[in-house]
Structure 1
Amino acid sequence: GKTGTTDRNADGWFMGITPSLVSGCWVGGEDRDIHFDRMREGQGAAMALPVWAIYMNKVYADSTLGYYQNETFDMPEDFNPCAGFSYSDEEYSPNRASGGLDDFFN
């Protein structure tokens, strides 16, 4: 997911993505003078992410919706994690046991 925050911590949001659902939460108000004084409370991760998490827990709890927590992203066959980096494709081994690439997609 991705968080966002406006100037002076007046608005915060979180956008989350799963293999089958994209959803987001915005927290804020029309009066820009009402805002959090500190970034700790005013950032999207503090004000919107918890609301999104409650929503997603309810989505996953309702099996009639057809969304499941164990879904994983499919990695494209032609995906090259080395593309755009200074080292060559020959230095990349898909058999490395780092878990990092799988974590990137799941």
Structure 2
Amino acid sequence: FQIEFLFRDSKQYAGLTHCQARRRAAITFQVNASLTAVSLSKLQAIQATGAFPQPFSMASVVRRAFNVHFLKKIIASLAQGQTLTETSPEYETLCNYGIINSTPT
């Protein structure tokens, strides 16, 4: 039943239902891009942990990506003489803030 989870995550997080195209080629491209984005996220999670994370949460992948981006913006803009590096445990803790599965992805 993995195909059901693939479609669910594509609809919720990868814009499967956001296409407004009318041409068959454009719709096909949108569907393929959306399903590929979710599949690549799962592949990234497998490569990061060495096994398929249980439970896999696309929401956690999206949240972690936002946290990483947001931390980089904060450090670049506000932290003159910052001491938080990307290899520190505190950085990982902040990147994992709010995700369901706390293993790094």
Answer yes or no: same fold by TM over 0.5.
no
Specify which structure has the higher proportion of strand: 1
Specify which structure has the higher proportion of helix: 2
Structure (1 or 2) with the larger CA radius of gyration: 1
Larger relative CO (CA 8 A, sep 6+): 1 or 2? 2
TM-score, normalised by the number of residues in structure 1: 0.31
